[in-house]
Structure 1
Amino acid sequence: MRPTRSLAALATVSALTLAACGGDPTQDPSATEEGDASKVTIGSGNFTESTILAEVYAKALQDDGVEVEKKLEIGSRETYLPALQDGSIDLIPEYIGTLATYFDKELAVTDADEVYAALEKSLPEGLEVLEYSEAENADNVVVTRATADDQGLEKISDLEGKAGDMTLGGPPEWKERAQGVPGLKKVYGLEFAKFRELSAGGNVTAQALENGQIDAANIFTTDPSIVQKDFVILEDDKDLFSAQNVVPLLSSEVADDTVSESLNKVSSELTAEDLAQMQIDVTDGKTPEEVASAWVEENL
């Protein structure tokens, strides 16, 4: 029995030595530690700002040694959230207010911290958000300067008694969202003569408003057309619209330390002015990837 014990003891010592040196033959040497992401697939919504943000995330992650694949301009939230949940993508830039409302139709808070806390509680298992940015791109009701002057419009409640003769334009999802057309009716008592479905961002909506094809529009805070065309943002005097700070939404499977720290750095530096300027740069002919890379190189 002694030789058997000796061989067994030797085998045990050898196994422990291999394990201590990282040489456990049962362990795949190419495997990463639990929670580490070998590759992150980044998606974006179907509007310029979302694409720019996705490119910013991609560049920041690549600079920190993370392999990145991009699947951009997927579509609306109703399209890309299922893609995130089924693993087609791992990460997408989001906005805390509309995302929280998507998962909690009865959301009543509008303050950024409160919205973020509600969002964390309502996220489905397997998804998480990282730190949110100071940069915010909130929903607005916007009119031309001429319309504001002619109709005496400064705040959304000033549309009472006038909306019935006006056409409102906005993204298709706004027709059903609680902080879209239904919210304007519920909170402000406004019923527009017509709602015209338009692209979620920028040029199409701005041109329709400027050309008189619509009388009011949902145009986001950082859209450069507001400054370029001297549009007037009507004050949300009854707090219909939630805080809309930019936040990374990602699969928990890829939320390792490297990915989280990289994206949190982006959130800590990004401002609404940065987003507006990057969109102007794209309008002037640069690609989203070019403006995103330049921002990352300058700020991170």
Structure 2
Amino acid sequence: MVLAASQRVLARLLVVASVALVVSCGNDEPQPSITVGAGDSIESSVLAEIYADALARAGVRTAVDPRLGSRADYLAALDADRVQVVGEHTGALLAHLDEHTTARLPEQVKDAVSAALPEGLVVSDRADGTDLRPRVLLTAQAAAQDRVRSVRDLAPRCGGLTVGVAATPGLLPQAGSDRVAGCDFAATVAFPDPAALRKALLEGRVQVGLLGGPAELTPGATDGLAVLSDDEYAVRAENVLPLFRKGLLDRRQIKKLDYVAGELTTDELAAMIRNVRDDGAAPSDVARAWLDKHSL
């Protein structure tokens, strides 16, 4: 009797142990994960954190691989599957993929990007509310005197003018950003920052400025200057969009990225970049706060 009872107890313990082992093995199975890559710019880091957190909220295990280098570097990492998602600009990405493209309007540029992508890479919706194009500048005095309000108004005069070019700190690299359709400037001068460009314009050392991004990113850089309108996209469209490996995301996850695209604006992205660049905030913190604000 004692022996039989002991055998029954032992059998129950073996069953429990077997179930625990099965559960343990099941829990240890690795789930699919996605690494979002970021280049060296602050904008790239912010976008990577936004995409990673948004996908995590759609049920994916995610991580961010920061400071991968230049556009060529993080695109190489994407091609090699070391990362699976990166944030990009439509126009700059297109210029990188096809330097001879003539596409300039937002939808044209997006379609041209899709056509030029290497096999195995795709994009989802662009963020229509983001306009990261370089801005064309004149002094307020020159704009009023010559009645120049748009890039179209400026075009007939470009051949006799020198343009100064300055990048905007924190933005993704702007490949082809010194090109203005219909404007063949007499000369181009590079400046180290927007403040130096503004000074050169006000002193008359250059007659036109090309600021590498929206003025919201560089407060004070356009004081005393006129920002010309460009409704015809003489400067190629630059909208934010995610670039990722084909077949990686399911419909729900792509929809999550599309929701991000539908909410992101120039003003909000500029504010996040400035918060990291000027105030020392962590990209993950500003990304999380933005997603929470938009209930994403």
**Shared topology, TM-score over 0.5?**
yes
Residue in structure 1 matching 2:184, options 186, 189, 193: 189
1:81-92 counterparts in 2 under 5 A? 81-92=75-86
For 1:118, what is the secondary structure of its paired residue? helix
Q: Deviations over 1:11-47 (max 9, x none)?
A: xxxxxxxxxxxxxxxxxx9487xxxxx1111122332
Which residue in the other structure is 1:134 paired with?
A: 128
TM superposition shift of 1:96: 1.7
Name the CA distance, whole Å, in 2 between partners of 1:168 and 1:31: 49
Query: Which residue identity does 1:220 align to in structure 2?
Result: G
TM superposition shift of 1:248: 0.6
Unpaired segments ≥5 residues, structure 1: 1-28, 33-37, 199-204
TM superposition shift of 1:207: 3.3
TM superposition shift of 1:134: 1.9
Native 8 Å contact 2:48 2:87 kept in 1: yes
Name the CA distance, whole Å, in 1 between partners of 2:213 and 2:161: 20
Q: Is 1:270–2:264 an aligned residue pair?
A: yes
Which residue in the other structure is 1:244 paired with?
A: 238
Q: Is 1:160–2:148 an aligned residue pair?
A: no
1:1-300 counterparts in 2 under 5 A? 30=29, 38-143=32-137, 145=139, 154-156=149-151, 157=154, 160=158, 163-164=161-162, 167-170=164-167, 177=175, 179-181=176-178, 183-184=179-180, 187-196=182-191, 198=192, 205-212=193-200, 216-221=209-214, 223-226=216-219, 230=223, 232-236=226-230, 239-282=233-276, 283-299=278-294, 300=296
Q: Deviations over 1:78-125 (max 9, x none)?
A: 222112111121111112222223223332232222222222222110
Native 8 Å contact 2:48 2:86 kept in 1: yes
Native 8 Å contact 2:165 2:212 kept in 1: no
TM superposition shift of 1:51: 1.8
For 2:38, what is the secondary structure of its paired residue? strand
Name the CA distance, whole Å, in 1 between partners of 2:129 and 2:194: 22
From the superposition, tell whether residues 40 and 143 of structure 1 become closer, same or farther in structure 2 (CA, over 3 Å): same
Unpaired segments ≥5 residues, structure 2: 1-27
User: What is the number of equivalent residue pairs in this alignment?
Assistant: 255
TM-score, normalization: structure 1? 0.70
For 1:41, what is the secondary structure of its paired residue? strand
Native 8 Å contact 2:49 2:287 kept in 1: yes
For 1:194, what is the secondary structure of its paired residue? strand
Query: Which residue identity does 2:106 align to in structure 1?
Result: A
Query: Which residue identity does 2:81 align to in structure 1?
Result: G
TM-score, normalization: structure 2? 0.71
From the superposition, tell whether residues 148 and 253 of structure 1 become closer, same or farther in structure 2 (CA, over 3 Å): farther
Which residue in the other structure is 1:11 paired with?
A: none
Q: Percent identity?
A: 26
Which residue in the other structure is 2:24 paired with?
A: none
TM superposition shift of 1:195: 3.0
Query: Which residue identity does 1:56 align to in structure 2?
Result: I
Name the CA distance, whole Å, in 2 between partners of 1:238 and 1:262: 31
Query: Which residue identity does 1:192 align to in structure 2?
Result: A
TM superposition shift of 1:211: 4.9
For 1:75, what is the secondary structure of its paired residue? coil
Q: Deviations over 1:248-281 (max 9, x none)?
A: 1011142233431221221122122221222343
From the superposition, tell whether residues 46 and 207 of structure 1 become closer, same or farther in structure 2 (CA, over 3 Å): farther
